[in-house]
């Protein structure tokens, strides 16, 4: 199955307020979720957070 189909399926089934995608070759620092949550709260008008950029 194509990865994008699995991501779309996961997004449809998600029940949380936020959603994060990691590929099998991605690594995430220990405090990344803390950083992301702070950036999301500081940029509540944004729809997407990519790395350190809010869109």
Residues 1-55: tens digit of each pLDDT: 577 888 889 889 988 878 887 878 888 888 888 988 888 888 877 776 666 555 5
Q: Which two tokens stand for residue 28?
A: 């995430």
- In residues, how long is the chain? 55
Contact 43, 35 (CB under 8 A): no
Spell out the alpha helix ranges (H) of 1-55.
3-13, 32-42
pTM of the model: 0.54
pLDDT of residue 50: 67
DSSP state, 47?
Answer: S
Alpha carbon distance 43, 30 (integer Å):
22
pLDDT score of 55: 57
pLDDT of 4? 80
pLDDT of residue 25: 84
């Amino acid at each position: 199955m194509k990865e994008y189909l699995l991501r779309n399926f996961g997004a449809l089934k998600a029940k949380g307020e936020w959603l994060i995608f990691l590929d099998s070759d991605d690594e995430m620092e220990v405090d990344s979720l803390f950083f992301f949550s702070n950036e999301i709260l500081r940029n509540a008008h944004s729809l997407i957070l990519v790395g350190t950029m809010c869109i």
